[in-house]
Amino acid sequence: MRDFSVLSDVEFEELVGDLLGAEFNTLVERFAAGADGGIDLRWNLLDGIHIAQCKHYRKSTFSQLKAAASKEVAKVIELHPVAYMFVTTFDLSPSQKEQIYSIFSQWMTDPSAVLGGRDVDALITRHQAVERRHPKLWVSTGMQLFWNLHSDIANRTEALRQRIEKSMPKYVVSPGYQAARQLVEDHNVCLISGPPGIGKTTLAHMLLAEHISSGYEPIEVSMDINEAWVSLSRDTRQIFLYDDFLGQITFSERLAKNEDRRLSDLIERFSEEAPRKKLVLTTREYILRDAKLNYERLSELDTRHQFVLELKDYRKSDRAQILYNHLWHSDVSATCLREVAEGGYKHILDHQSYNPRLIEYCTGRAFDVETPGYPERFKATLDHPERIWKVAFEKHLATEQKMLVLVLCTLPRQAHIEILQEAHSALCEYLGITNTETSFREALEVLEGTFIAISRDDSGGTNIRHLNPSVTEFALGRIAMDRRIMAAIIKSAKFFEQLSELFLYGAGGSFFHPGNTTLMSALGKSKDDFLEAMESRFESQSSQRQDVQILGTQFRALIELSGKFEKRVGFYLQVDKEWGLRPSVIEERVEFMITRWRNHEGDKSQALDLFDDVSKNPLSTGLLSDVHDALHNWLEQTLEETEDWQHYVKHLTDHDGVDLDDELWLAERFEEFMEREFRSTSPHPSNLDEMKSLADEFGLHELSDRIEEALHEEHGPDEDDYERPWSVRDHEEKGSDAYIENLFMRFRE
């Protein structure tokens, strides 16, 4: 049976109205509660007026449903229809149908006029065109079928699956959804931008859910776009989600060097060559505007393909439905709901700070949803949204729990639980706060769903993040205001990256948002402690580690990501620009890298980026020459993979001024490499696009043609039969004051 729990009672009535209209081939009128004496649905047949009552009971017992049905009798007597139907999502047994029928037998010919959940399900199967007009229902049903058929994918994407299933019931289908669907259909790519809290991620989740229901495998990109390239599967329908791809606060915290190129290449490939691949991205509007000024490729792509959807605001009808859905699916007390119904909703819907994120917070467990005065508390939060976290932080959290919220700012956006525990324990110990394994777990339980979110990654590791960017902004503000906490975080840092994360939040680097000036000022006052901590933590383990299973065993281990030292030396150069360091400090770090590169140690991509930065630093000519030679020899002597060739060619063209057409010996060496690749891989080598680019740069036309043929065979004709019928609903009536008043009056029942 389909899962009707994703629908509110209003959405269920709309579904039933469409189903009965299709069943009887007539127009079925709908009425809000209280609008017409208890009628939900009404239609006119040859024998007279028929009416129906809908009861969408999620958590009730049959006795409660029967009692509610009995209360309808007086209304039906007054209306005196020729026929009456009672429709519910409750899965009724034959005996229970008989009991409901006995209540309304005067207006029913037999128990078939009582429809339970399975009867509604059968009607939907008979009228599938109706189901298409109710996306939440068919998307939810199709998604559950996909999970059941692909348990391996369900397990691998458990965290994403939970977030989608949590957001879907409260979602309101709006014009933005149809616009986003159209962009995905036309371009295979949709970039959703808009102000904080407008619902970008929820819309992205709906797009993913829809495609999952059509057989697409979901892939969540969390760190950088390379995850998408690695996850590409030639013969599989896939949809990729890259949430907040330009960063949560400023774009400078997210895109690594050259990631804009890899991202634009992926968008280009999806838009023009890969109809079985879809990409959904989200970002704040001002960050996107900023990034377009700095990343020319993003601006060019949007101009050519026009795949950006900007969410600006909601119509009044959408605002009302969003608030109603959140209240209906929440645990807000009957007292508070009555206050909303009696006019409290008006101050919420018309408020200038209205957005779905604040609605979710004020209907969630972190808010007082029990005691009288609920609309006033709700409005006070909208008046001063910055106080959301302040009140909860100061009044409801123990000191140890507060430190967990704060220290999370200094860790990767998705921090592994063991990394967080190490950093948190060190901070608590420095401040003299009692901290144990048990209290740490208790802190996670208290904070989950309010300040933090807990999820599992593809490898089975547990990750912790702030619930949303506004929590991060709040926590950074607290750190900036409290010099004692600032000093403690710096001096207790277990990982070098804790320092760089904090610094980058302060320094920013974008034109419109240069960073957090208050935080940067506070860091400046702790400059000596900060530099000392950088020195002492330079060779520490990295906080950017991945949980992997050790091959051939049941054991797991946290493995450091490559490029740790390249990034750390690059950070020294950033700090030097901001504060000015002694030349000997920079020289010492550069010499450290020279030694590693001579030993063929490090990450080549990060090394190329670092060399760009080192070249701009006023180092001695001899030291700069040593850096170049160490990198050049490492790249030249280790040409084993396609990426090795890409790195070497980039170095030659960018820094050595080499014209590849003149390097015949190198072209011959690349041809030999490619011949080995074609012989050793079946049916074709991977990274064909990159290989073709290199062949073109070397002027190897025959090799380029051969790769082009392989690319054509790989992609082949690939028709995407994905198509969903759609109907646009008229929201004018739903935006009327009368409709909205009757909508919220339901909470008085």
Please tell me the predicted confidence (pLDDT) of residue 604: 94
| Model pLDDT for residues 298-337, shown as the tens digit of each residue | 667 667 667 888 888 788 899 999 999 999 999 999 999 9
Please tell me the predicted confidence (pLDDT) of residue 251: 45
| Model pLDDT for residues 338-362, shown as the tens digit of each residue | 999 999 999 999 898 888 888 998 9
Looking at 155-164, 481-490, 718-727, which range is the least confident one? Answer: 718-727
Please tell me the predicted confidence (pLDDT) of residue 286: 61
For 38-88, the three-class secondary structure string (H helix, E strand, C coil) is CCCEEEEECCEEEEEEEECCCCCCHHHHHHHHHHCHHHHHHHCCCEEEEEE
Tokens 């209306």 locate to: 79
Please tell me the predicted confidence (pLDDT) of residue 258: 60
Residue 605: both structure tokens together: 């991509």
Looking at 28-37, 533-542, 580-589, 632-641, which range is the least confident one? Answer: 28-37
pLDDT of residue 482 exceeding 90, the answer is yes
Distance CA 395, CA 444 (A): 17
Opening angle at CA 259, ends 199 and 632, nearest 5 = 165
Distance CA 319, CA 356 (A): 8
62-71 helix and 94-104 helix, angle to the nearest 10 degrees? 10
pLDDT of residue 244 exceeding 90, the answer is no
Could you tell me which residues come within 8 angstroms of residue 442 by beta carbon, excluding any fewer than 6 positions away?
none
Average pLDDT (15-36) is: 82
Distance CA 84, CA 81 (A): 7
Tokens 């330079």 locate to: 538
Average pLDDT (468-491) is: 92
Average pLDDT (664-688) is: 86
Please tell me the predicted confidence (pLDDT) of residue 529: 97
| Model pLDDT for residues 499-512, shown as the tens digit of each residue | 999 998 888 753 33
| Model pLDDT for residues 114-141, shown as the tens digit of each residue | 999 999 999 999 998 998 889 888 888 8
Please tell me the predicted confidence (pLDDT) of residue 32: 59
CATH number assigned to the domain covering 135-310: 3.40.50
pLDDT of residue 576 exceeding 90, the answer is yes
Going by pLDDT thresholds of 50, 70 and 90, the confidence category of residue 550 is: low
Please tell me the predicted confidence (pLDDT) of residue 49: 92
pLDDT of residue 749 exceeding 80, the answer is no
Ordered strands of the 452-456 beta sheet: 415-416, 462-466, 452-456
Fold of 4-133: Trna Endonuclease; Chain: A, domain 1 (3.40.1350)
Please tell me the predicted confidence (pLDDT) of residue 326: 95
Going by pLDDT thresholds of 50, 70 and 90, the confidence category of residue 261 is: confident
CA nearest neighbour of 171 among 144, 141, 201: 201
Could you tell me which residues come within 8 angstroms of residue 690 by beta carbon, excluding any fewer than 6 positions away?
642, 643, 646
Distance CA 614, CA 376 (A): 57
The CA-atom distances, in angstroms, between 502 and each of 252, 356, 575 are 13, 29, 12
Please tell me the predicted confidence (pLDDT) of residue 365: 80
Q: Would you tell me how many other CB atoms lie within 10 Å of the CB of residue 612?
A: 13
Looking at 539-548, 567-576, 691-700, which range is the least confident one? Answer: 539-548
pLDDT of residue 245 exceeding 90, the answer is no
pLDDT of residue 35 exceeding 50, the answer is no
Give me the chain's average pLDDT, please: 86
Please tell me the predicted confidence (pLDDT) of residue 460: 67
Question: Which residue intervals of the chain bear CATH 1.10.10?
Answer: 394-561
| Model pLDDT for residues 66-77, shown as the tens digit of each residue | 998 999 999 899
Question: Which residue intervals of the chain bear CATH 3.40.1350.10?
Answer: 4-133
Going by pLDDT thresholds of 50, 70 and 90, the confidence category of residue 727 is: very low
Average pLDDT (268-274) is: 76
Q: Tell me the percentage of the chain whose pLDDT exceeds 70.
A: 88
Please tell me the predicted confidence (pLDDT) of residue 336: 96
Going by pLDDT thresholds of 50, 70 and 90, the confidence category of residue 736 is: confident
CATH number assigned to the domain covering 394-561: 1.10.10
Average pLDDT (44-62) is: 87
pLDDT of residue 373 exceeding 90, the answer is yes
